[in-house]
Structure formats: C-alpha cells, structure tokens
Amino acid sequence: MAQGRGKRRNGGAMKGGIDDLAIFGAPPAFREKLYVGRPNIGDRERLLARINDLIDRKWLTNNGPYVQEFERRVADSLGVKHCISMCNGTVALEIATRALGLTGEVIVPSFTFVATAHALQWQEITPVFCDIQPETFTFAHARVEEMITPRTTGIIGVHLWGRPCDVEALTGIARRRRLRLLFDAAHAFGCSHQGRMIGQFGDAEILSFHATKFLNTFEGGAVLTGDDALARKIRLMKNFGFSGYDDVVYIGINGKMSEVAAAMGLTGLESIDDFIGANRRNYALYRDGLSGIPGIRPVLYDERERCNYQYVVLEVDEASSGVGRDTLVDVLHAENVIARRYFHPGAHRMEPYRSCFPHAGLVLPVTERLTRRVLSLPTGTSIGADEIREICAILRLAVANAPGLGARLGAVPPSR
C-alpha cells in the first residue's frame, strides 16, 4: 500500500522561525498538497482482477454477485441482519427516512455534513436543529427532548467522526415519545459503542462509502437494519419498487450500488486492518506532536472501543493559543496542508436553512461556538510520519509566535 514517506516534503530543516512560514512568502513545507480524506485504496491487483472479472461476466449492476457479497461481508462484520447497499450515503438516508415513514419534523444536529439535513428537506420534512454536547460533539439528549413537538416523527443521531452518540439516551427518548430513530453512521464504519458495532442501533443506521470515507466504494452507501419488513421495503424502494422482472409493487427510485463499486468495497475490506493501523499511528503521532501546545486540543477517541480513527480533529481555543482557528487554517493552507473546517458553519447557517430558520442559532449555542473552533488534518494511508511531525511543528511555531503572527497578518489579505 502506498504510504506517504515524506516524499512530498521540501528538503531542508523544519521551519524554525516565523519568517520560515509560507504565509509570509517562504517556500511551502510540502511541494504537493496534503488533503483531508485522500482515499484509502486496497490492493490494486485484487481490484483490477475483480474489475476484469465483472467485465467478463457482463453483469455491471442490478444486484450482481459482488454487490451481494459486499452486503453479506458488511452485515457479518457489523453483526447486523440486513445490509442494503446504495449508490451513496445521501440516498441511503433519503430512502431510510422514507421507508420509516418520517414526515413533519425530524430532529437532527446542525453540526454535521449538510446531507443529513438535505435528505429531509429534499422530501419536505423539516429538519429541526438540536444542539450538541461540548465534550462529545454529538446530540445533547436533554435538548432533543425539548425540541419534540406534535409534528415530530423521528430523530436522526449522527455518530460524528465515528464517535458514537449517546445511543441509550436517544433510544429511551424514541421509545417513550413513540418516535423513529435513525443513525447517520456515515463516519462510523468499523466503530463500536459499548462493545457493540455501530450499525446495530435504532430502527436503522446508514453508512457512506464515499471516496473520502474510511472504507470507500468510489461512491456508495448502505442502510443497516435488523428489521425484516423494513429491509424488504428498502430493497424495493432502491430498485424502482420492482419485486420481479416486470412487477412493480411500490414507489421507488434508483439507489442501486454498481458492481464496480462493490468490487472496490470488497477490496478495501481486505485491507481494513492496514487502514486502521495507518490511521491509528497517525492519530498517535498528532496527539504526541501537538501535546503541550496551549489552546490546541486534539479530539480524542475512546481507545476501549473499536475505532477507525479516520478523522484527526483539533479544537482551537483562541483565548489560550493566541491564534484563531481560521488563522491556523490559513497558515496550514499556505504550507500546502489543506486542513478543513468540518463542519463549519453548521447546516443551520447554510441555505435553505439560514433563510428558513434565521433564528436557529439562538438554540444552538454549543454548535455555534464549536463550528468556529474545529479543524481537521490530513490522515489516512497516503501521509507519512515525517509529514505529520512537520505539520505539528508548523502549528507549534504558529502558536509560539502568536503575537507576531497576528501583528503581521493584519497586513496580509485574507486567503478566503
């Protein structure tokens, strides 16, 4: 597997002073851009053999053998009865939402990728944005209860960055208030909660296998559920409602995963341990390399659980670091480290939600604060230890020189 072994690093010593920063005109630390979410790719020969095979077979889509095998393997590895593969995670959310009969209002976090909200609004269901807990970045369940109205039909919890929601609290609320419970587990393939794999909770959970995700199928997704009737309905819905060659028994759309996507997924599944190993090593390197920098707090994973370590996220407390999150992102971008502000500014500040619900921020104080403080750093199989050490050194240098940085950047035009 291709590992980044410092190949892209510009030669010479690490940056030692503020004048060495690329934002002030010095050469960038890396010749090529380092991206968040560079795809994890398994064994190329195995993938190409599968692609040759499916071309020989001339079975490219419509529940082919690779799709069936991929569904079986995912279901088995997560200990869930049904895995229904999809063309992407957004369609998986839309179909699951519809199959669960959600209407009216559904409670969701705003601190998520906008697809969680769009999947509802696309179907004219109102996403009601609920605040999160500052420690976990997932639903504040006491707030969830307060957002329920007579129009509420469901709750969608998001296992953000693969860190599980408070599943027990949400399950209790859903049961007591007779609501459907769906989890957006787009980030959480291979993660567990209290020893049980994500995928086993709620009425259903959805996965994304987008290229940037821990396990990818180029584009792809899945719905996971233990409910036979729901699984059958979802299978019909994702294939135009066809139950036989020419018998349509239900309204449906096209949510099918292709054979080539499943071939990619099966190949990736064979390298899961390598992907986790690389991510885990990177996470530990960042955690150690950033320790002691004032105001920079890596978001930690619970190491007693299974975890994919796919996201390296920092929370920046400007009062302690002396440098704001956005300035650090500018400094990193200048060095060709394309850090991302996931999930800034929060779905409630994006269209159509910011126009429809201009006051949503009033009930989202934690979301509003955290969207201004987080940044994600490159990890995965295409970045090496030297590169991570250099990224940490750049952050350390920026914070150590916060006053000088601030003063000089006052004169530099903002990059975004």
- Contact residues toward ligand PLP (CB under 6 A) are 88-90, 112-113, 115-116, 158, 184, 186-187, 208, 210, 221
Q: What residue number has its CB nearest to ligand PLP?
A: 89
Nearest to 111 by CA among 343, 315, 339: 343
Burial (Cβ within 10 Å: 0-12, 13-18, ≥19) of residue 127: buried
**Distance set, CA 265 to CA 258, 277, 387 (Å):** 11, 18, 28
- Considering beta carbons, is residue 23 or 262 the nearer one to ligand PLP? 262
- Considering beta carbons, is residue 214 or 275 the nearer one to ligand PLP? 214
- Contact present, 185 and 160 (Cβ < 8 Å): no
CB of 112 to ligand PLP, least distance (A): 5
Tokens of 283: 């996470």
- Considering beta carbons, is residue 97 or 192 the nearer one to ligand PLP? 97
Specify the 3-state DSSP secondary structure of 102: coil
Taking the mean position of all CA atoms in its chain, how far away is CA 114? 11
Tokens of 77: 């590895």
- Considering beta carbons, is residue 82 or 210 the nearer one to ligand PLP? 210
| 66/49 Cα distance (integer angstroms) | 12
CB of 366 to ligand PLP, least distance (A): 18
CB of 115 to ligand PLP, least distance (A): 4
CB of 207 to ligand PLP, least distance (A): 8
| 152/141 Cα distance (integer angstroms) | 15
CB of 338 to ligand PLP, least distance (A): 17
| 324/243 Cα distance (integer angstroms) | 56
Which amino acid would we find at residue 103?
Answer: T
- Contact present, 252 and 237 (Cβ < 8 Å): yes
CB of 39 to ligand PLP, least distance (A): 13
Alpha-carbon dihedral angle through residues 192, 193, 195, 198, given to the nearest 10 degrees: -50
- Considering beta carbons, is residue 116 or 192 the nearer one to ligand PLP? 116
- Considering beta carbons, is residue 88 or 401 the nearer one to ligand PLP? 88
CB of 158 to ligand PLP, least distance (A): 5
| 76/166 Cα distance (integer angstroms) | 24
- Considering beta carbons, is residue 217 or 336 the nearer one to ligand PLP? 217
- Considering beta carbons, is residue 112 or 382 the nearer one to ligand PLP? 112
| 12/365 Cα distance (integer angstroms) | 45
| 381/43 Cα distance (integer angstroms) | 12
- Considering beta carbons, is residue 222 or 398 the nearer one to ligand PLP? 222
Look-up of token digits 């054979």: 259
CB of 221 to ligand PLP, least distance (A): 5
CB of 264 to ligand PLP, least distance (A): 13
| 32/49 Cα distance (integer angstroms) | 31
